[in-house]
A and B are shown apart, each in its own frame.
Chain A
Amino acid sequence: MIKRKLTLIMENKPGALVRVVGLFHQRGYNIESLHVDPVVDFTPYKFIENELETKFKDNEISRLTIQTLVSDSLMRQILRQLNKLIDVIAVSNEETTYLKGVLLDENLL
Chain B
Amino acid sequence: MSTKLKLSGADMLMRALHDEGVDLIFGYPGGAALHIYDALFRQDKIEHILVRHEQGATHAADGYARATGKPGVVLVTSGPGATNAITGIATAFMDSIPMVVISGQVASHLIGTDAFQETDMIGISRPVVKHSYCVFDANEIPKIVKEAFHVATTGRPGPVVIDIPKDMTAPDNLFEYEYPKKVNIRSYNPPVEPDINQIERAVTELLIANRPVIYAGGGAIASNAEEELFRLNEILDAPVTNTLMGLGIYPATHHRFLGMLGMHGTYQANMAMHNADLIIAIGARFDDRITNNPSKFSPGAKIIHLDVDHSSVSKIIEANIAVFGQVKNSLSAIIKLLETKLDQYNKDKLQPWHEQIKNWKSTHGLNYELYKNESDENPILPQAVVQHVYNITEGKAYVTSDVGQHQMFAAQYYHFDEPRKWINSGSMGTMGFGLPAAMGVKFAFPNEEVLCITGEGSIQMCIQELSTCLQYNLPIKIININNEALGMVKQWQDMNYGGRHSQSTYQNSLPDFVKLAESYGHVGIKVEKNSELKPALEKAFSMKDRLVFVDVYVDPAEHVYPMLIANHSLEDMWLSKDKKT
- Which residues of B lie under 8 Å from residue A14 when comparing CB positions? 134, 136
B187 contacts the other chain (CB 8 A): yes
User: Residues of A contacting B122 with CB < 8 Å?
Assistant: 15
A-facing residues in B154-201 (Cβ within 8 Å)? 185-191
> B310 touching A10 by the CB < 8 A rule?
no
Q: How far is A1 from B123 in the complex, measured between Cα atoms in Å?
A: 31
Q: Which residue of B lies closest to A77 (CB)?
A: B315
In chain B, what residue has the closest Cβ to A11?
B187
Instruction: Select from chain A the residue with minimum beta-carbon distance to B191.
Output: A101
B187 touches A84 (CB 8 A): no
Q: Is A2 an interface position by the 8 A CB rule?
A: no
**Does the CB pair B127–A101 fall under 8 Å?**
no
Residues of B within 8 A of A22 (CB): 126-127
- Determine whether B324 belongs to the interface, using a CB cutoff of 8 Å to chain A: yes
Query: Which of chain B's residues 104-135 have a Cβ closer than 8 Å to chain A?
Result: 122-123, 126-127, 130-132, 134
Contact of A18 (CB < 8 Å), options: B126, B191, B314, B324: B126
B310: min CB distance to chain A, Å: 5
**Are B130 and A101 interface neighbours, CB within 8 A?**
no
In the complex, the chain B residue whose C-beta lies closest to that of A98 is B310
Asked if residues B189 and A100 are in contact (CB atoms below 8 Å), the reply is: yes
A interface secondary structure, majority = mixed
Q: Which of A19, A76, A83, A89 contacts B186 (CB 8 A)?
A: A89
| 0 or 1 for each of A64-82: is its CB under 8 Å from B? (1 = yes) | 0000000000001100110
Considering the complex, which residues of chain B in the window 185-222 have a beta carbon less than 8 Å from any beta carbon of chain A? 185-191
B311 at the A/B interface (Cβ < 8 Å)? Answer: yes
Q: How far is the CB of A91 from chain B (nearest CB, A)?
A: 11
User: Taking the complex as formed, is B263 at the interface, i.e. its CB lies under 8 A from any CB of chain A?
Assistant: no
* A27 CA / B441 CA spacing, docked (Å): 33
Chain A residues whose CB sits within 8 angstroms of the CB of B131 once the complex forms: 86
A88 surroundings in chain B (CB, below 8 A) = 187
B151 interface residue per 8 A CB criterion: yes
- Confirm or deny: A26 has a beta carbon within 8 angstroms of a beta carbon on chain B: yes
Contact of B311 among A26, A52, A84, A100 (CB under 8 A): A84
Query: What B residues does A54 contact at CB under 8 A?
Result: 186
Tell me whether B309 is interfacial, beta carbon within 8 Å.
yes
Complex-state Cα separation, A15 to B314, whole angstroms: 29
Q: Bound state CA distance, A54 and B189, in angstroms? A: 13
Interface size class of A (residues with CB under 8 A): 20 to 34
Q: In the complex, which of the residues B126, B188, B189, B311 contacts A19, with contact meaning CB atoms closer than 8 Å?
A: B126
> Within 8 Å CB of B189, what residues of A?
52, 100-101
A61 to chain B, nearest CB (A): 9
Contacts of A80 in B (CB 8 A): 310-311
Given A84-B309, A100-B189: A15 touches B132 (CB 8 Å cut-off): yes
A11 to B184, CA, bound (A): 14
In the bound complex, what is the Cα–Cα distance between A53 and B187 (angstroms)?
11
Q: How far is the CA of A18 from the CA of B191 in the complex (A)?
A: 25
- CB of B200, distance to nearest CB on chain A (Å): 18
B310 & A87 in contact (Cβ 8 Å cutoff) = no
Q: Which residue of B is nearest A61, CB measured? A: B187
CA separation between A101 and B186, bound complex, in Å?
A: 12
Contact between A100 and B315 (Cβ–Cβ < 8 Å)?
no
Q: B132: which A residues are within 8 A, CB to CB?
A: 15
Chain A residues positioned under 8 Å from B130 (CB to CB): 86
Which of B131, B134, B186, B191 has most A Cβ within 10 Å?
B186
Residue numbers in A under 8 Å from B134 (CB-CB): 14-15
Residue in chain A with minimal CB distance to B127:
A26
> How many angstroms from the CA of A54 to the CA of B314 in the assembled complex?
32
**0/1 string, A1-31, CB within 8 A of B gives 1:** 0000000001100110011001000100000
Given contacts A15-B126, A77-B315, A100-B187, 9 further A-B contacts (CB under 8 A): A15-B132, A18-B126, A52-B186, A52-B189, A80-B311, A81-B311, A83-B310, A84-B309, A88-B187
Residues of B within 8 A of A (CB): 122-123, 126-127, 130-132, 134, 136, 151, 185-191, 309-311, 314-315, 324
14 contacts between A and B (CB under 8 A): A10-B187, A11-B187, A14-B136, A15-B134, A18-B123, A18-B126, A19-B126, A53-B186, A76-B314, A86-B151, A86-B188, A88-B187, A89-B186, A100-B189
